[in-house]
């Protein structure tokens, strides 16, 4: 049996029934890493074999005699490199934090650690999660396991590629404007962005604080439900995490969609959209109809402003959040500076890449005296209208179904010179973050060039259960989630 092929719940079962040991899991995944990682480059810091084996031996020893496992025990999970891991470098894909070793774990990580999971590595991302392709990483791009000439999506491209290439059993990512769902769609895996406030962000390096959310990348919907249960819930360390009961998401998974009303927003299906994406998503909607869902056309008229609003709000918040990288408190400091001001400017000049600088400049401008109302104030007002669109729609339907990404994964290098084209990769995912609602991307097809396509299912705030239920019913009725890239290397 190839252990790396199993889903989280399958591997967990094997392990809890003592059919495999922690050492066997550690060995299998170390081997997989050695074989496949050089081709995919999903990780900035892959785990060392010796570390994994030492941890595995300790786990097997602990279980001797009385076998009592926790759900994530010995499960190899990858973590995006903007989520703090105590004692393990957390770079955010930036030269600025190239040497930064956090003194504490993010809350999501400490929950995993308390269950004796394996940290299989810290995954690659666009610098500070700004991008849609991982090409903005200071450490080089990740490659799409389906076709190495193509992007894996971004910014959680390393996490998505690691799951797709069976380098880990599941991964965590962060999603500010689509960074979990879009790479999940590109790599043919399941990507869940929970409701804003559902999961603690303590220890997530801030990009745009009113939008950022941690979520999961998994091989199927069952695994997403299981992992969400572990990471969701109030955390006193994060005042934006909501004190709302966490249901047992796995129990909400059903194979029928009977009684569910599904909205299809006409603004997401426009002339000139990619025919393969349109065809795959429309087929998914038909499938939902067969599963007894009631399909209804709806309208989200403010969608057309989402990208513009996002790039004012996200850059404004980023310019403020990134002010802390000044060469004094974290990471690198420019050498041979003359005086404090020069130290600040040189450090930021050398530490940040081009896209991060572009965003800091845009955001600083949008917040500056005289322009604040015209840009940031206006964007916040339109954001409220976008949220209202969703509120109205959810009076009539339980979930909303759309494409995740406008096209299958494009080629590496294709859009690096054209930031606007790159920004448009998130046209279907961004409004979800602006509204703060949960959404999942699930595989729904393959293009003629054998690149994955994903359908997005959006729900009401804190109704991840319905999103997961619909996603699971759809997934179980199809075979798309079982398709794997031809990794014969
Ligand atoms: N691609 C979007 C951006 O560049 C979203 C990134 C994200 O969700 N972190 O900002």
89-134 per-position pLDDT tens digit: 999 999 999 999 999 999 999 999 999 999 999 999 999 999 999 9
Cα–Cα distance between 306 and 299 in angstroms, integer? 14
**What pLDDT digit, counting tens, does each position of 199-211 carry?**
999 999 999 999 9
Tell me whether residue 239 is one of the annotated catalytic residues: no
Burial of 8 per CB tally in 10 Å (0-12, 13-18, 19+):
buried
Distance CA 450, CA 445 (A): 9
pLDDT of the residue at 388? 98
Q: What is the DSSP string of 367-410?
A: HSTTTTIIIIIHHHHHHHHHHHHHHHHHHH-SEEEEESSSSS--
423-440 mean pLDDT: 96
Which tokens sit at 372?
């604040």
Q: What gap in Å lies between CA 398 and CA 48, rounded to an integer?
A: 45
Q: Is 80 a catalytic residue?
A: yes
Q: Residue of the nearest CA to atom 5 in ligand 1? A: 177
Specify the 3-state DSSP secondary structure of 220: coil
> Which letter, b or e, does each residue of 206-231 get, where b requires 16 or more Cβ atoms within 10 Å of its Cβ?
bbbebbbbbbbbbbbbbbbbbbbbbb
The strand pair at 43-46 and 170-174 is best described as unpaired
Local confidence band at 330 (pLDDT 50, 70, 90 cut-offs): confident
Q: What is the set of domains in the chain, with CATH numbers?
A: 3-300+403-482 (3.90.1300.10), 302-387 (no CATH)
Told to judge if 57 belongs to the known catalytic residues of this protein, a careful annotator would answer: no
Compute, in angstroms, the gap from residue 191 CA to the centroid of ligand 1: 14
- pLDDT confidence of residue 489: 47
Distance, in Å, from the CA atom of 201 to the CA atom of 197, rounded to the nearest integer, reads: 8
Pocket lined around ligand 1, Cβ cut-off 6 Å: 129-132, 155, 175-179, 207, 314, 426
Residue 326 — left, alpha, or beta (φ > 0 → left; ψ -120 to 50 → alpha)? alpha
Determine the average pLDDT of the residues in 1-12.
Answer: 94
The minimum-distance atom of ligand 1 relative to the CA of 178 is: 8
Distance CA 168, CA 155 (A): 18
């Amino acid at each position: 049996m190839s252990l790396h092929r199993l889903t989280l719940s399958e591997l967990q079962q094997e392990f809890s029934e003592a059919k495999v040991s922690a050492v066997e899991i550690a060995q299998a995944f170390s081997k997989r890493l050695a074989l496949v990682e050089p081709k995919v480059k999903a990780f900035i810091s892959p785990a060392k074999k010796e570390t994994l084996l030492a941890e595995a031996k300790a786990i097997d020893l602990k279980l001797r005699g009385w076998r009592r496992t926790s759900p994530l025990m010995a499960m190899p999970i990858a973590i995006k490199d903007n989520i703090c891991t105590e004692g393990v470098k957390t770079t955010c894909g930036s030269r600025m934090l190239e040497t930064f070793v956090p003194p504490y774990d993010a809350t999501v990580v400490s929950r995993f650690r308390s269950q004796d999971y394996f940290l299989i590595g810290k995954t690659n991302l666009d610098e500070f999660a700004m991008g849609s392709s991982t090409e903005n990483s200071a450490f080089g791009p990740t490659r799409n396991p389906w076709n190495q000439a193509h992007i894996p999506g971004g910014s959680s491209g390393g996490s998505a590629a690691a799951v797709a290439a069976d380098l880990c059993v599941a991964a965590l990512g962060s999603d500010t404007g689509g960074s979990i769902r879009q790479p999940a769609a590109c790599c043919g895996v399941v990507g869940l962005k929970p409701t804003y406030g559902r999961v603690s962000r303590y220890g997530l390096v801030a990009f745009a604080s009113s939008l950022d959310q941690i979520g999961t990348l998994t091989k199927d919907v069952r695994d997403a439900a299981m992992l969400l249960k572990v990471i969701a819930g109030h955390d006193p360390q994060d005042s934006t995490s909501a004190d709302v009961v966490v249901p047992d998401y796995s129990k909400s998974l059903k194979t029928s969609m009977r009684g569910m009303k599904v909205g299809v927003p006409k603004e997401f299906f426009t002339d000139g959209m990619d025919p393969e994406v349109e065809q795959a998503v429309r087929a998914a909607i038909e499938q939902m109809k067969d599963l007894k869902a009631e399909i209804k056309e709806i309208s989200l008229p403010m969608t057309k402003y989402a990208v513009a609003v996002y790039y004012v709000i996200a850059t404004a918040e980023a310019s403020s959040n990134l002010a802390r990288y000044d060469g004094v408190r974290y990471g690198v400091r420019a050498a041979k500076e003359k005086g404090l001001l020069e130290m600040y400017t040189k450090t930021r000049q050398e530490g940040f890449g081009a896209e991060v600088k572009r965003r800091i400049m845009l955001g600083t401008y949008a917040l500056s005296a005289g322009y604040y109302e015209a840009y940031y104030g206006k964007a916040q007002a339109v954001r409220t209208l976008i949220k209202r669109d969703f509120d109205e729609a959810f009076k009539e339907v339980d979930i909303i179904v759309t494409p995740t990404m406008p096209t299958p994964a494009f080629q590496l290098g294709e859009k690096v010179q054209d930031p606007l084209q790159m920004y448009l990769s998130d046209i279907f995912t961004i409004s979800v973050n602006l509204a703060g609602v949960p959404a999942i991307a699930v595989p729904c097809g393959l293009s003629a060039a054998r690149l994955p396509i994903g359908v997005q299912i959006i729900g009401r705030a804190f109704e991840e259960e319905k999103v997961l239920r619909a996603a699971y019913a759809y997934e179980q009725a199809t075979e798309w989630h079982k398709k794997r890239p031809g990794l014969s290397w």
